[in-house]
A and B are shown apart, each in its own frame.
Chain A
Amino acid sequence: MNINATIKTSIRALKANWGRSLLTILGIVIGVMAIVLVIALGQGAQKLILNQVQSIGANTIILRPGRQPTQPTDAAETLLSDSLKQRDVDALLKPVNVPDLQTADPAVLVPGVISYQNSVYRATVLGWTPNALGEVFNVYPDQGSFFSQDDVKTYAKVIVIGSKVKQELFGDSDALGQFVTVHGQKLQVVGILPSKGQVTAFNVDDIGLLPYSTAQKTLLGIDYFHEIFLRAKPDADVDQVAADITATLRETHNISDPSKDDFFVVTQKTIVATVSTVTQVLTIFLVAIASISLMVGGIGIMNIMLVSVTERTQEIGLRKAVGATNENILLQFMIEALILTFAGGVLGTSIAITISALVSTIAQTYFALDWPFTLPLGAIALGVGVSTAIGLIFGLYPARKAAAKDPIEALRFE
């Protein structure tokens, strides 16, 4: 029996009932589509997040109060913790403590809104150092300038605002030199940032920046920081710098037991590791769920194949009468099952790739997200491979039933 003729016969049999064939493979199509889509979108999202993480630079280290969040209450503790203070910044900046540290920029988050006359806008208001944004994110005001180191020392009531904040509060009229109100205090606008959109975790357009000292003392009346942005010197060993920072803080906080740390250090490396772990676990979880639909699809194929074997009893009998062996019949039905599932795999994979490309295009065009379209070759191989394997597994039983048919019974079947 030549294989080409068998394949031709199988395709003819499938085409004869093409509507049913299509419905048969629907389960496989959906299952494979789900798997490939989950992997493709997962990879795209992971790359998007990692790109953003990487844009903060490998030399950036973030120091946060409280504990490394491993459960929801830890995050609350981080927000409420008052462990990071000026003395920590001073200690860190001493070269004897952290030799490879370049800058330490404390940050204070000011909750609430910015208002000007009758306009109110909920912006991200941040007390920071004069040059942190420029140095870390490479963003500088295109009108006016950042506040100065002197402004920090003198608790100056000044603010630099993002383009969206300016637009919302002032419209097209001039904002520079005007006074806005934050937390009951009037702050003079000294700089306006160009429109940059999302930069890492910040939407620069949506930001209000003031001296951290002003935010701390004048606006909030606190003596601690919410975050300290640190930069290692170029070519420094970031891990070593992070270790030095940890050691310094333990000393200033009198902590001997590392499990009692009231701060934690985040580097690009630790974020990347966390993000990768989370997305991988999520992807595996979703693929496992999608696999169930693939199994259901396989059972569907088996069902329809069994019906088809019964319907084609006469054909099987005739083929046997003219000399087909059991193996010939087995092969014919196995090939039919394989063609079905392979087609289902290819179709499902194609749909998934199309959707994935569409999602990345939409994300890039309408949301200005740098969502890369990735062609997950592994996922394609997995989708087509698994669907073919499903064909082998679930096609075997109907094919064996077909092969076992007695030619006399089969020919008598009317």
Chain B
Amino acid sequence: MALIQLENITKEYTSEETATSVLHGISFSIEEGEFVSIMGPSGSGKSTLLHILGLLDRQTTGSYLFAGQDTLILSDLERARIRNASIGFVFQAFHLLKRTTVLENVMLPLYYSQVPKKEYEQKAKIALEHVGLMHRLSHMPSQLSGGERQRVAIARALVNDPKIIFADEPTGNLDSKTGRSVMRTIEKLHQQGKTIIVITHETTAAEYANRIITIADGLIGSDREVVSTHSHYAK
């Protein structure tokens, strides 16, 4: 069973009688363990697609099965639970909480989870170890470099051991060298078995993936398997 199964997804935004159609019928499946890049120019609808995939938004028509579950019938509460337990997000702007330590930022998803409180710190430390930031536990985000901030965000996405991680332009706010380092961190997670979906318009970032889907004007342009060219682990 595919982890993600999209069937003819459309999305329309209506405001004051004008309807803006963003997605015109997107269909694809993603298996567990895949590393997929979704590429497209700005305005192509790739962010909207990510929001639907990440259960932050609902499609207008079409069906979306997440782990076999029809997402259209899920309540807000059920969506919040799935986002918490099965999905990790990494954003372009990092979205770390100010005046909150690295450790506590990473612990944030656990506050809303069923995880016992005494395991919070241990889980957060394991996640931070994955991204190589154990030496920054009690730093504030403002004391970190851009790359470090994004790695904290990745640790936060990881902390609840999700099935899938969505990264929305994870290197968009970083210079190319730091961006590569962040992509390598994400790639490492894939090697450890996580399903990864990266949204990007940068070819260099997209090429870490095993599969690249391009979107243009709300439709799939191409969908192809690739050999990860940047990977240290490339076969």
Contact A323 B97 (CB under 8 A): no
Contact with B along A301-331 (1 / 0, CB 8 A): 0000000000000110111111111101000
Given A2-B117, A407-B56, decide whether A323 and B95 contact each other with a Cβ distance below 8 A.
no
Is A76 in the interface zone, CB < 8 Å from B? no
Closest 3 CB pairs between A and B?
Answer: A323-B84, A323-B112, A322-B109
Sample 8 A-B pairs with CB under 8 A, ordered by A number: A16-B99, A317-B95, A321-B56, A322-B112, A323-B80, A324-B84, A325-B76, A411-B95
Distance in angstroms from B25 CB to nearest chain A CB is 21
| Bound-state Cα–Cα, A308 to B76, Å | 24
**Residues of chain B contacted by A319 (CB below 8 angstroms):** 108, 112
**Residues of chain A contacted by B156 (CB below 8 angstroms):** 322
**Residues of chain A contacted by B91 (CB below 8 angstroms):** 318, 411
Contact A1 B80 (CB under 8 A): no
Set A12, A314, A323: member contacting B109, Cβ < 8 A: A323
Q: Told that A320-B83, A325-B80, A326-B77 touch, could you supply 13 new A-B pairs with CB distance under 8 A?
A: A6-B111, A319-B112, A321-B54, A321-B83, A322-B84, A322-B89, A323-B113, A324-B112, A325-B76, A328-B112, A407-B56, A411-B56, A411-B91
Contact with A along B102-136 (1 / 0, CB 8 A): 00000011011100010000000000000000000
Which residues in A have some Cβ–Cβ distance to B below 8 Å?
1-2, 5-6, 12, 16, 314-315, 317-326, 328, 407-408, 411, 414
Distance in angstroms from B227 CB to nearest chain A CB is 32
Set B56, B76, B112, B160: member contacting A1, Cβ < 8 A: B112
Q: Count the A-B residue pairs with Cβ separation under 8 angstroms: how many?
A: 64
Contact A321 B89 (CB under 8 A): yes
Contact A325 B112 (CB under 8 A): yes
Distance in angstroms from A193 CB to nearest chain B CB is 71
Contact A325 B108 (CB under 8 A): no
Q: Which residue of B lies closest to A322 (CB)?
A: B109
Which interface residue of A315, A318, A322, A326 has the most chain B CB atoms within 10 A?
A322
Given A320-B80, A323-B85, decide whether A408 and B56 contact each other with a Cβ distance below 8 A.
yes
Is B93 in the interface zone, CB < 8 Å from A? yes
| Bound-state Cα–Cα, A48 to B85, Å | 66
**Residues of chain B contacted by A323 (CB below 8 angstroms):** 80-81, 83-85, 109, 112-113, 160
| Bound-state Cα–Cα, A6 to B108, Å | 11
**Residues of chain A contacted by B111 (CB below 8 angstroms):** 1-2, 5-6, 324
| Bound-state Cα–Cα, A325 to B54, Å | 15
Which interface residue of B76, B81, B93, B95 has the most chain A CB atoms within 10 A?
B95
**Residues of chain A contacted by B56 (CB below 8 angstroms):** 320-321, 407-408, 411
| Bound-state Cα–Cα, A321 to B109, Å | 9
**Residues of chain B contacted by A1 (CB below 8 angstroms):** 111-112
Distance in angstroms from A383 CB to nearest chain B CB is 31
**Residues of chain B contacted by A320 (CB below 8 angstroms):** 56, 80, 83
Q: Which residue of A lies closest to B153 (CB)?
A: A318
**Residues of chain A contacted by B100 (CB below 8 angstroms):** 12
Is B57 in the interface zone, CB < 8 Å from A? yes
Distance in angstroms from A122 CB to nearest chain B CB is 69
